[in-house]
Amino acid sequence: MISAQVLALIDNAFLSLVGSAIPASTVVLLAATGAMLGERVGVLNLGQEGLIGVGAVYAVIAVLSWGITSPWLALLIGMAAAALAGLIFAVAVVVFRANQVLVGLALALGGVGLSNQLGTNRNGTPIQNTFQEVSLGGSFEDGSVLEAFLFHDPIVYLAYIAMPVALWFLLFRTRHGMNMRAVGENPAAADAVGVSVMRSRLGYTVLGAALSGAGGAYMVLSFTPTWSPDIARGRGWVALAVVIFAGWRPGWVVAGALLYGSMISLDTTAQARGWELPFFGPSDLSFFLSMLPYVVTLIAILIPAGAAKIGRRVRATAAPGALAIPYWREER
Amino acid sequence: MTFGRWRLVRRLDTDARTAALTRVAGAVGALLLVGLLLLLTGRNPFWIFFEALKAIFGSQRGIEGVALRAIPILMTALGVALSLRMKVWNIGSDGQFLVGAFAAVGVGIHMDGPGWLVLTAMALAAIAAGAAWILLPALARAFWDVNEIITTLLLNFVAIQLVTWSALGFWRDKKAAVIQSTEKVPFTLPDLPGSKSLTVALLVPFLIALALWWVFRSTTVGYEIDTIGGNPRAAGFAGIRVRRRILTVMLVTGAIAGLGGMLQLSAPGAQALNAGFSAQFGLSGFIVAALAGASFAGVIGGGVFIASMFYAGLVLQTKGLSVYIIFGMYGIILTGIALGEIAARFRLERADADGGVDESGDAGGSGGVDGSGDAVLEGATT
Nearest CA in chain A to B138: A302
Is B329 part of the contact surface with chain A (CB cutoff 8 Å)?
yes
What are the DSSP E strand ranges found in chain B?
2-3, 6-11, 346-350, 374-376
Mean pLDDT along residues B125-149: 94
Question: What are A249-259's pLDDT values in tens digits?
Answer: 999 999 999 99
pLDDT at A141 over 80: no
pLDDT at A148 over 80: no
pLDDT at A1 over 60: no
Which residues 211-240 of A have a C-beta within 8 angstroms of B?
Answer: 229, 234, 237-238, 240
Are A237 and B162 in contact (CB < 8 Å)? no
Domain ranges, ordered by start, for chain A: 15-123+133-233
Are A92 and B165 in contact (CB < 8 Å)? no
pLDDT at B215 over 80: yes
Here the ipTM equals 0.86
Q: What is the mean pLDDT of chain B?
A: 84
pLDDT at A154 over 90: no
Q: What is the percent of chain A with per-residue pLDDT over 90, rounded to a whole number? A: 55
Mean pLDDT along residues B117-141: 96
Range among A28-42, A146-160, A299-313 with highest mean pLDDT value: A28-42
pLDDT at B8: 72
Q: Residue A140's pLDDT band (boundaries 50, 70, 90)?
A: low
Mean pLDDT along residues B292-302: 88
Is A302 part of the contact surface with chain B (CB cutoff 8 Å)?
yes
Closest by CA position to B129, among listed B243, B261, B246, B244 = B261
pLDDT at A92: 94
pLDDT at B351: 66
Helical H segments across chain A, by residue range? 2-40, 48-64, 71-90, 100-119, 145-150, 154-157, 163-173, 175-185, 187-192, 197-218, 235-245, 250-273, 284-310
Number of other residues whose CB lies within 10 A of the CB of residue B362? 10
Closest by CA position to A115, among listed A172, A48, A167 = A48
Q: Residue B312's pLDDT band (boundaries 50, 70, 90)?
A: confident
pLDDT at B29 over 80: yes
Of A13-22, B242-251, B329-338, which range is least confident?
A13-22
Q: Residue A283's pLDDT band (boundaries 50, 70, 90)?
A: confident
Are B334 and A109 in contact (CB < 8 Å)? yes
pLDDT at A281 over 60: yes
What is d(CA A62, CA A42) in angstroms, rounded to the nearest whole number?
33
Mean pLDDT along residues A215-223: 93
Q: What angle do CA B193, B196, B198 make, to 5 degrees?
A: 70
Of B149, B324, B341, the CB nearest to A116: B324
